[in-house]
Chains A and B, each alone.
Chain A
Amino acid sequence: MRSERYFAYIMIAPAIISILILSLYPIIQGIRLSFFDYTLINPFKPFVGLENYVNVLRDPRFWKALYNTIAFSILSVFFSTLLGLVVALLLNSKLPLKGFLRSLTLLPWVIPSIVIAYTWVWLLNKDFSPFNDILLSLNLISRPISFLGDLNIRVGPFTLPFISILAVRVWTSYTFKAINFLAALQTIPEELYEAATIDGANSWQKFRYITFPSLIPVGAVVVTLSLIWNISHFDYNYLMTKGGPSDATNVLGTFIYQTAFSTFRLGYASAIGVLMLSISAIFGVIYMGLVLRETL
């Protein structure tokens, strides 16, 4: 039916036009900008080919930011998925106040990041931190620690500010995993467990052979999606430490922001953006592979 088709195009037009103009066009512009020497101070914007890319790849700050981005992404996704799984199992068990606990789980997700970021900045300040108060009274430390500033305290290769930001990012991001795992847990038919009980399976075997396999499809989607989000993460690293001290928490997102809006080297910032986009694209392809067959 032809009229049906025209109707469909009219209904879809506003969505597609706004996406093309406001999401895809800027991406193409960004890729174009990365080939120009574009700064706000310089009125001439000469085409420089790959020069921005060459300069980015020679910039030790870029490599530091890339390393941090990868480390943050892997660790944050790992710990938040693990925590999300444990919380989902807890919320799916026979626990009193489950409804309340589920609401509480979603709370960090609805609170603006600026509120969460500075609540944590205040919690982690040096002189009046409740954590320092506890550590001091337990005699675990002899003087207050600067959680967001002390680069001398390390766990393995990771500095204390890195670990503090990582902890906050896990605290806010396990929510999404927990809720998705919980939804998947609730679709597992009770009969499977009953049958396993009759066959004499213990709790670990039930988890290993019933619960865990049925969480894998959801887990794959959730992990891939979080990796994409984490690679472009900006909020907490910018709000809490501005990527500092000495770039210890600088990631690609904050590096782009500083390059573009503090030093106004826009072509250079765009080149970093394109490199970041290419890394995300790898996981994007995986995500599309996982989701597209279900969606179409």
Chain B
Amino acid sequence: MKSKLVKIILIFLGILYIIYVGFPFYWLFLTSIKPKTELFILPIKWWPSKFEWYNYVSVWESFPLSRYFLNSILVTTITVILAVIISSSAAYALSRIRFKGNNTIITLLLITQMLPGIVTLVPFYFWMMNLGLLNTYGGLILAYSTWSIPFCTLMLRGYFKTACPQELEDAALIDGCTRFSAYYRIALPLSVPGLVAAGAYSFMLAWKEFMWASIMISSGSLKTLPVGLYDMIGEGGNINFLTEFMTASILTCIPVIIIFFVFQNYMVSGLTSGAVKG
């Protein structure tokens, strides 16, 4: 009797929770699919009279969405490749080899991981200007991969230490295998879940980032999706192109949601690795 009551309360809380998290997403989708004539009418419509799927076609024509997609895909792909290569090699050395400065480097990584981006924004802008990287893909890629490195390196170091057995590499080293091939042929293939988590982290960072991209990209043909979305917003905070914004938003979210659902277990283990011990 008591356990039945507990179960009912739990289910009630579960439903309440689904509404809490899901309702904004429902409204986002609803707005994207409403006929434009039903956006600004009273009483407001909680369900459209018909699904206007054509909204998802016309947005590609009224905004250079394919260009934004291409830019985001390019920037994100190169960021992920760079971040994973740089972090995994650093993490491997930090986890396997004792050398002078090992602890200093780990401390440095922890500090940079905490640095607030907004503090460096002004000097970073001028630094990029002096390097001639404003308004280039390179300026975005360099920033995003550097921002990914501290978290990815620390996470992968933990992965190499706990989940990737060292004995196999030791045996290979005794048999005359070099350190690099021990890393490349043994440690890396055994650490695919960790590499996936690191890749997914840098993917999210590069795909979602808005502040830096909005400051440094002024040319329309280089805009990434978040900056492109911002073009649909008006100056006074009104959303000038409401339907277009909502449809483009959903299209922007689809790749991250797919990546997220495929790799979510890896990502959760990566996300929690910083805070949970053991």
Segment 25-64 of B: residues with Cβ below 8 Å from A = 25, 27-28, 31, 39-40, 42-44, 46
Cβ proximity bits A245-276 to B, threshold 8 Å, 1 near / 0 not: 00000001100110011000010011001101
B204 at the interface (CB under 8 A from A): yes
Question: Is A184 interfacial (CB-CB < 8 Å)?
Answer: yes
Residues of chain A lying within 8 A (CB to CB) of residue B28: 115, 119
Q: In the bound complex, what is the Cα–Cα distance between A67 and B44 (angstroms)?
A: 38
Interface residue? A152 (CB, 8 A):
no
In the complex, whether B5 has a CB less than 8 A from a CB of chain A is no
- CB-contact partner of B274 in A120, A221, A296, under 8 A: A221
> Quick one: closest A residue to B16, CB to CB?
A90
A15-47 residues at the B interface, CB under 8 angstroms:
15-16, 18-19, 22-27, 29-30, 33
Specify the chain A residue showing the minimal Cβ separation from B153. A15
Nearest A residue (CB) for B116: A232
Within 8 Å CB of A130, what residues of B? 27, 44, 46
Q: Are A257 and B237 in contact (CB under 8 A)?
A: no
Is B245 interfacial (CB-CB < 8 Å)? yes
8 Å CB contacts to B: which residues of A116-170?
A: 116, 118-123, 127-130, 133, 148
Tell whether, in the assembled complex, residue A179 and residue B260 are in contact, meaning their CB atoms are under 8 Å apart: no
Q: A90-B13, A118-B245, A130-B46 given as contacts; is B18 within 8 A of A23 (CB)?
A: no
| Cβ-defined contact, A29 with B275, below 8 A | no
Would you give the 0/1 interface string for B1-33, flagging 1 where the beta carbon is closer than 8 Å to chain A?
000000100110110011011101101100100
CB distance from A252 to the nearest CB of B (A): 8
B221 at the binding interface (Cβ < 8 Å): no
Please provide the chain A residues from 67 to 123 with a CB less than 8 Å away from any CB of chain B in the complex. Answer: 87, 90, 93-97, 101, 103-108, 110-116, 118-123
> Given A14-B89, A18-B146, A122-B31, A183 and B237 touching (CB < 8 A)?
no
Give bound CA distance, A93 to B180, whole Å.
46
Instruction: Select which of B17, B18, B237, B252 is within 8 A of A112 by beta carbon.
Output: B252
How many residue pairs between the two chains, A and B, have CB atoms under 8 Å in the bound complex? 274
Partner of A234, one of B118, B120, B267: B118
Say whether B256 contacts A90, CB under 8 Å: no
Q: Shortest Cβ distance from A287 into chain B, in angstroms?
A: 7
User: Quick check: is B176 within 8 A (CB to CB) of the other chain?
Assistant: no
Tell whether, in the assembled complex, residue A218 and residue B24 are in contact, meaning their CB atoms are under 8 Å apart.
no
Residues of B in contact (CB 8 Å), total 99
Known: A15-B87, A115-B229, A269-B122. A9 touches B99 (CB 8 A): yes
Indicate if the CB atoms of B107 and A292 lie closer than 8 Å: yes
Asked if residues B245 and A7 are in contact (CB atoms below 8 Å), the reply is: no
Q: Are B239 and A122 in contact (CB under 8 A)?
A: yes
B17 and A232 contacting across the interface, CB-CB below 8 Å: no
From B10, B149, B225, B267, A95 is in contact (CB under 8 Å) with B10
Best-buried of A5, A87, A115, A240 by chain B (most CB within 10 Å): A115
Q: A11-B183, A94-B7, A112-B207 are in contact. List 10 more A-B contacts (CB 8 A).
A: A4-B99, A23-B146, A30-B120, A107-B260, A110-B204, A121-B239, A133-B43, A239-B210, A288-B110, A295-B154
A interface residue numbers (CB < 8 A to B): 3-5, 7-9, 11-12, 14-16, 18-19, 22-27, 29-30, 33, 87, 90, 93-97, 101, 103-108, 110-116, 118-123, 127-130, 133, 148, 171, 176, 179-180, 183-184, 187, 217-218, 221-222, 225, 228-229, 231-232, 234-235, 238-242, 252-253, 256-257, 260-261, 266, 269-270, 273-274, 276-277, 280, 284, 287-288, 291-292, 294-296
Chosen A-B contacts, 26 in total, with CB atoms closer than 8 Å, are A4-B97, A7-B180, A9-B99, A15-B87, A25-B127, A26-B120, A27-B120, A29-B123, A95-B10, A111-B253, A118-B233, A127-B42, A130-B44, A180-B275, A180-B276, A183-B272, A221-B274, A225-B114, A232-B118, A256-B119, A273-B118, A277-B116, A280-B116, A284-B114, A287-B110, A288-B107
